[in-house]
Amino acid sequence: SGHELTSLSEQMLVSCDTTEDNCGGGFADRAFKWIVSSNKGNVFTEQSYPYASGGGNVPACDKSGKVVGAK
């Protein structure tokens, strides 16, 4: 109680998780597995890596966002 939730970056998953289908869709359980197994539990905040794929083109993976951890 009293702690703000941190919004996580969808764009990081779309751009960096190459096991899914980018803007074509994917599955939440596989995205979480990718975060834990392939990205060492790190995910960027929405503020530091905002969604930009709306037009169908997917920006390249950018690893310079603000990292928050997941365990």
What would the pLDDT profile of 38-56 be if each residue is shown by its tens digit? 888 888 889 989 988 777 7
At a CB cut-off of 8 Å and minimum separation 6, what does 5 contact?
A: none
> What DSSP string runs through 23-42?
GG---HHHHHHHHHHTSTTE
d(CA 11, CA 49): 7
pLDDT greater than 60 at residue 71? no
Task: List pLDDT tens digits, range 6-30.
Answer: 898 988 888 888 877 666 677 888 8
- pTM, full prediction: 0.76
Give the model's pLDDT for residue 22.
63
Report the 10 Å Cβ neighbour count for 24: 9
Q: Indicate if the pLDDT at residue 37 is higher than 70.
A: yes
The pLDDT, as a whole number, for residue 2 is 76
Distances (CA, A) of 59 to 10, 13, 16, 36: 12, 11, 9, 22
